[in-house]
Amino acid sequence: MDVLSFSFLCCKLLFFLSESSFASDTITSSQSLSDGRTLVSKEGSFELGFFSPGSSKNRYVGIWYKNMPVKTVVWVANRINPINDSSGVLVVNKTGNLVLTSQNKSVVWSANLSKEVRTPVVLQLLDSGNLVLRGERDGDSETYLWQSFDYPSDTLLPGMKLGWDFKTGLERRITSWKSSDDPSPGDFIWKIERQFYPELVMWKGSRKFYRTGPWNGLIFSASSLRLNPIFKYRFVFNEDELYYTFYLTDKDVISRTVMNQTVSLRQRFIWRKANQSWELYSNLPKDQCDTYGLCGAYGICIISQSPICQCLEGFHPKSGGYVDWSQGCVHNKPLNYSRKDGFIKFSELKLPDSTSSWVSKSMNLKECREKCLENSSCMAYTNSDITRGGSGCVMWFGDLIDMRNFQDGGQDLYIRMSASELGAKNEPTTTILVILISASGLFTVVLMVGCYIRISRGNIAGNNRRTDQENEDQNEDLELPLFELATIANATDNFSINKKLGEGGFGPVYKGTLADGQEIAVKRLSKISEQGLKELKNEVILFSKLQHRNLVKLLGCCIQGEEKLLIYEFMPNRSLDSFIFGLDPSTNQTKRKLLDWPKRFCIICGTARGLLYLHHDSRLRIIHRDLKASNVLLDHEMNPKISDFGLARTFVGDEIEGSTKRVVGTYGYMAPEYASDGLFSVKSDVFSFGILLLEIVSGKKNRGFYHSDKNLNLIGHAWKLWNNGMPSQLIDAYYQESCNLAEVIRCIHVGLLCVQHHPEDRPCMPSVILMLGSEIMLPQPKQPGFLADRKSTGPNSSSSMLESSSTNTITISTLEGR
Ligand SMILES: *[C@@H]1O[C@H](CO)[C@@H](O)[C@H](O)[C@H]1NC(C)=O
Ligand SMILES: *[C@@H]1O[C@H](CO)[C@@H](O)[C@H](O)[C@H]1NC(C)=O
Ligand SMILES: *[C@@H]1O[C@H](CO)[C@@H](O)[C@H](O)[C@H]1NC(C)=O
Ligand SMILES: *[C@@H]1O[C@H](CO)[C@@H](O)[C@H](O)[C@H]1NC(C)=O
Ligand SMILES: *[C@@H]1O[C@H](CO)[C@@H](O)[C@H](O)[C@H]1NC(C)=O
Ligand SMILES: *[C@@H]1O[C@H](CO)[C@@H](O)[C@H](O)[C@H]1NC(C)=O
Ligand SMILES: *[C@@H]1O[C@H](CO)[C@@H](O)[C@H](O)[C@H]1NC(C)=O
Ligand SMILES: *[C@@H]1O[C@H](CO)[C@@H](O)[C@H](O)[C@H]1NC(C)=O
């Protein structure tokens, strides 16, 4: 028997000997708990009793973690009424109230039950840390007469609600202690603001100190989109209540959130068993940009810039100088405050203070804009819910304050502008992206939009860009955007065979139409393994927060019983492979003719931009690992959108290379170092992109490529033609008429650079985009990686039989020994 359980047993024995009439976690009416005694929850997690904080001699009734060397108090009953001696007694009195009395029987504190309870009542300390009063016969039901979770002190425990109960008018908030010696309420309050568009706000006295941004259906606007395996969050807002709560996915983890007066931070701690100490997990506010209203009205805080305060585009500093930002900014061109005004869309923002806001769940973005235009005090609007492609309407009245730049985590906001300001920067007709690369790897992006030029700096490796945020915010994660099975069954006529679009890598895909008319594609995952389920969740969480016009939008998922469904926006033109390879026998050749060279070139550039976003610009650095023609879908305008992120890997910070024993991907697209050694990196995606590029140019598949020279696959063939000075022979006859020869040759050149054998020789996506879009000199390509060439040399080999039967969508998933 170990020491802990032995001492625990002793405790119990002692309890039994002295107070044998009641169990150690409860007291009933007519019993009492005097100073020196304690209650211990059933499993021994928490303890209730009298204590003196820090160096104080005062006595308080509180709850703390049992069996922890550092006494950590999570709740205090008589915060403002200490007892100055050991005369305190906690009792459940005859009318069922919980009362703390001191020496002369005077009431120091009571639970203030509003009505008298006639039935016998017990007080119980639960293992969640909740102290509850309940009817003796109510057993384990969760209807309590009173519970300490309704009256938090400075600590939020898992399962505790922060927020409002509208029926009773009860508000639950946490307030810091005055000092470590004094648990009476200090200056800092952490609470949910009860408003149309609620948010969490930290107050210092009567001053706002920090806000999380409003709940956008997925997260609080200013929390990062980071996966975390430990916490889950729930946000509830309906007629009855408004609250936020967190819980732990692993019940062995011990964690608490506390409002800390000493450091002016809301801290989250995790208990380290091995070290027997608390480890700080996260802090709020995180940095200077979190300071409430730092940059004033219409100012935006950008942590990587100097000064960190800027005016939004279309605004200038009010004070004229750049020193005092509290004055904020004003419109360059005055508003007309009528329908004559318009809006400019700003992205990646922490939404402004939403005290004066208004929400309609039923209005769409267009209706929202109309309504905002009509109201002269409406300064901005956006979707109130960003899940499922965005819905609802939120409008802001009065000046917009406390915005910051949030790459990828942030949101779109449409801000009112005068018509003349809009005229100056109408939708750009052309956007030219020029990237200048210096030897150090630093690049400067000059984005020319009409006559406006915006310059931003970064680093090709991407590791200098947003470390400030990445290191600090690891706390908030998000829930899966979920659909009801009934909704999807309805949308797809009960998965009717008529609605089936085809078979994807993991199962059939159906077309559906939601009640509001939105068309969707539903991937029905067949018998999914444990591992598969992990990949699924991975895909859903990752994908649902990525927003780029060259990525297929994942609207959500449905995991109910055996059914596992992924819901995507519907792509009317399906996948690229059917166009370039003409796989559909009925429409075979006509479909290939539809793609002239300009369209092909647009598809190449769009796919490159999508990949650039995944590799460098999205907050989570993502390696696709299975880029191929069948994973590039086309919308009604033939714009390419990359799909299928089930195999994606996220990378955090500097980790741009990885190694895996589980090689997943598709032969014919895999880089040699990945297929043979399991090494993957952004450069293995670049390799796949190179293959795709050559396939688009040639109209031929790399895998299953058949040529009289049996030893060559498509890359080999392209390489040979290149070296013989005849690259134009690669051009697909179907678009020859529309072709711009210089552009095609350039594409072949870039394609060959991407498929070079050594990863370090291959360009990164920013360079690829530069190379595709400009006339700069390109280096000569070196020997390409010839992987999988000899595996599919002729139409009779088994691998190509597989291929013809399943249209090049064989995704392999093997354990390769290494
Ligand atoms: C406790 O406080 C009361 C006044 O609130 C005082 O009369 C009493 O002497 C104090 N007792 C001790 C032990 O300090
Ligand atoms: C029980 O305590 C409450 C609160 O102090 C008080 O109002 C009530 O009268 C008490 N009941 C009895 C029977 O003492
Ligand atoms: C005794 O009771 C009176 C009121 O009933 C209270 O003002 C006083 O502080 C109490 N004294 C102690 C020592 O608790
Ligand atoms: C109980 O009610 C009294 C009087 O209304 C109030 O002063 C006291 O703060 C209340 N106590 C609690 C714990 O709410
Ligand atoms: C407040 O923060 C300080 C410094 O991190 C820490 O030592 C202290 O324990 C914290 N207080 C609480 C109540 O967690
Ligand atoms: C345990 O504490 C030591 C020193 O206090 C520290 O170096 C180590 O990182 C801690 N380990 C964990 C798991 O927190
Ligand atoms: C709005 O525009 C109209 C027509 O151009 C003009 O007469 C009016 O003065 C403008 N109002 C403001 C407040 O600028
Ligand atoms: C604008 O909307 C707000 C909030 O709905 C309302 O209070 C105000 O009266 C409206 N103003 C005008 C001019 O319609």
Residues ≥6 apart with Cβ < 8 Å to 750: 690, 693, 763, 768, 771, 772, 778
Does 22 have pLDDT greater than 50?
Answer: no
The pLDDT value recorded for residue 446 is 30
Which two tokens mark 731?
């051009």
Q: End-to-end distance of the chain based on CA atoms, in angstroms?
A: 43
Q: How far is the CA of 100 from the centre of ligand 1 (A)?
A: 17
Does 13 score more than 80 pLDDT?
no
**Residue at token pair 């591992």:** 531
Q: Dump pLDDT digits (tens) for 245-293.
A: 988 878 888 999 999 998 989 999 999 999 999 999 889 998 899 999 9
113 touches ligand 2 (CB under 6 Å): no
Is residue 806 pLDDT above 90, yes or no?
A: no
Q: Tell me the Cα Rg of the chain.
A: 31
Interior/surface letters 351-382, b for 16+ CB within 10 angstroms, e for the rest: bbbbbbbbbeeebebeebbebbbeeeebbbbb
Per-residue pLDDT at 378 exceeds 60:
yes
**Of the candidates 597, 567, 532, the residue with the CA atom closest to the CA atom of residue 748:** 597
Closest atom, ligand 1, to C-alpha of 84:
1
Angle, vertex CA 441, rays to CA 439 and CA 447, nearest 5? 105
Distance CA(666)–CA(674), nearest Å, equals 11
**154 annotated active-site:** no
Question: Three-class SS of residue 804?
Answer: helix
- Mean pLDDT score across all residues of the chain: 79
Q: Which of 322-326, 713-717, 756-760 has the lowest mean pLDDT?
A: 322-326
- 644: pLDDT strictly greater than 90: no
Per-residue pLDDT at 737: 82
Map residue 639 onto helix, strand or coil.
coil
> Mean pLDDT, to the nearest integer, of 563-578?
86
Q: Which atom of ligand 4 is nearest to the CA of 111?
A: 13
DSSP state, residue 733 = G
Residue 320 has pLDDT above 90, yes or no: no
Inter-CA distances, 549 with 126, 348, 433, 614, 630, Å: 50, 15, 16, 12, 18
Structure-block tokens of residue 817: 């020994």
Does 103 contact ligand 1 (Cβ within 6 A)?
no
Q: What number of other Cβ atoms are within 10 A of residue 516's Cβ? A: 7
Given a cut of 70, whether residue 663 has pLDDT beyond it is no
pLDDT above 70: residue 790: no
Backbone CA torsion sign across 420, 422, 425, 428? negative
Q: How far is CA 380 from the centre of its chain?
A: 24
Nearest-atom index, ligand 4, CA of 77: 13
Does the Cβ of 180 fall within 6 Å of ligand 4?
no
Tokens 């938090």 belong to which residue? Answer: 152
Provide mean pLDDT across the span 794-798: 29
With the most atoms of ligand 7 within 8 angstroms of its CB, the residue from 331, 335, 336 to mutate is 336
User: Of 816, 817, 818, 697, which is closest to residue 755 (Cα–Cα)?
Assistant: 697
Look up residue 658 and give its two tokens: 């990885």
Of 40-44, 527-531, 648-652, which range is least confident?
Answer: 648-652
Q: Mean pLDDT throughout 701-707?
A: 69
Examine the pLDDT at 657 and tell me if it is beyond 80: no
Sequence-distant (6+) residues with CB within 8 A of 798 are: none
User: DSSP class of residue 19?
Assistant: S
Expressed in angstroms and rounded, the spacing between residue 321 Cα and the centre of ligand 5 is: 39
* 149-171 average pLDDT score: 95
Phi, psi of 738, rounded to the nearest 5 degrees: -90, 5
pLDDT at residue 68 tops 70 = yes
Rounded-to-integer distance, Cα 297 and Cα 318, Å: 9
- CA pair distance 90, 158, nearest whole angstrom: 26
> Could you give the CA distance from residue 78 to residue 397 in angstroms, rounded to a whole number?
42
Q: 3-state DSSP call for residue 131? A: strand
Q: Which ligand is nearest to the CA of 340?
A: 7
The ligand 7 site (C-beta within 6 Å) comprises 336-338, 340
Q: How confident is the model at residue 697 (pLDDT cuts 50, 70, 90)?
A: very high
pLDDT-wise least confident of 114-128, 169-183, 447-461 = 447-461
> If pLDDT is split at 50, 70 and 90, which confidence band does 161 have?
very high
Percent of the chain with pLDDT over 70: 77
Q: What angle do CA 86, 88, 90 make, to 5 degrees?
A: 145
The model's pTM: 0.59
Sequence-separated (6 or more) residues with CB below 8 Å from residue 321: none
> Which of 77-81, 396-400, 477-481, 726-730 shows the lowest mean pLDDT across its residues?
477-481
Write down the pLDDT at residue 693: 95
Phi, psi at 527, each rounded to 5°: 0, 95
State which H helix or E strand residue 625 sits in. none
Residues of the chain by 3-state class (helix, strand, coil), percent to 5? 25, 30, 45
Q: Which ligand is located closest to the Cα atom of residue 179?
A: 5
Q: Is 736 helix (H, G, I), strand (E, B) or coil?
A: helix
pLDDT at residue 587 is higher than 60: no
What the chain holds in terms of domains, given with CATH numbers, is 16-149 (2.90.10.10), 152-286 (no CATH), 289-425 (no CATH), 435-569 (3.30.200.20), 577-773 (1.10.510.10)
Which pLDDT value is given to residue 674? 76
Distance CA 184, CA 162 (A): 19
Number of the ligand closest to the Cα of 381: 8
- Rounded to the nearest 5 degrees, what angle is found at the Cα of 201, between the Cα atoms of 358 and 194? 40
Cβ within 8 Å of residue 344, ≥6 positions away:
313, 314, 414, 415, 417, 421, 422, 425
* Residue 497 vs residues 109, 310, 509, 527, 529: alpha-carbon distances, Å: 68, 56, 10, 19, 25
Cα(165)–Cα(409) distance, integer angstroms: 30
Does residue 808 register a pLDDT over 70? Answer: no
Whether the pLDDT of residue 116 is over 90: the answer is no
Residue 121 alpha carbon to ligand 2 centre in Å: 14
Q: Is pLDDT at 445 greater than 50 in this prediction?
A: no
Task: Please report the pLDDT score of residue 695 as a whole number.
Answer: 93
Report CA(67)–ligand 5 centroid distance (Å).
Answer: 19
Q: Which of 642, 611, 546 is nearest to 769 (CA)?
A: 611
Q: Is 292 exposed, middle or buried (0-12, 13-18, 19+ CB in 10 A)?
A: middle
Tell me how many degrees the CA angle 707-713-717 measures, rounded to the nearest 5.
70
* Closest C-alpha residue for ligand 3 atom 2: 106
* Sequence-distant (≥ 6) Cβ neighbours of residue 570 within 8 angstroms: 511, 512, 519, 520, 521
pLDDT band with cut points at 50, 70 and 90 for residue 243? very high
Q: What is the pLDDT of residue 224?
A: 63
Q: Which of 575, 622, 607, 634 is nearest to 772 (CA)?
A: 607
Sign of CA dihedral 774, 779, 784, 785: negative
C-alpha 576 to ligand 2 mean position (Å):
76
User: Per-residue pLDDT for 8 more than 50?
Assistant: no
Token pair listed for 382: 């956006």
Cα(404)–Cα(308) distance, rounded to whole angstroms? 10
- Give the pLDDT of residue 541: 72
Estimate the crossing angle of helix 682-698 against helix 597-612, to 10 degrees.
Answer: 170
Output the pLDDT for position 216: 87
Report how far ligand 5's centroid is from the alpha carbon of 179 (Å). 10
Calpha distance 764→689 (Å, rounded): 11
- Predicted confidence at residue 506, as pLDDT, reads 63
Q: Tell me if 566 sits within 8 A of 504, measured CB to CB.
A: no
**697 and 732 in contact (C-beta within 8 Å)?**
yes
Q: What is the mean pLDDT of residues 774-803?
A: 55
- Give pLDDT, residue 227: 52
Using CA atoms, how far apart are residues 394 and 411, in angstroms rounded to an integer?
13
At residue 681, does pLDDT exceed 60?
A: yes
Q: Which atom from ligand 5 is nearest to the alpha carbon of 154?
A: 13
Tens of pLDDT along 593-607? 788 899 999 999 999
CA-275 nearest atom, ligand 6: 1
Q: What is the pLDDT of residue 409?
A: 65
Instruction: Give the whole-angstrom CA distance, residue 285 versus residue 259.
Output: 11
Name the pLDDT band for 295 (thresholds 50, 70, 90). Answer: very high
Higher pLDDT, 201 or 671: 201
How many helices (H) does the chain have, and how many strands (E)? 15, 50
Q: Which of 141-155, 373-387, 427-441, 611-625 has the lowest mean pLDDT?
A: 427-441
- Among 353, 626, 685, 789, the one annotated catalytic: 626
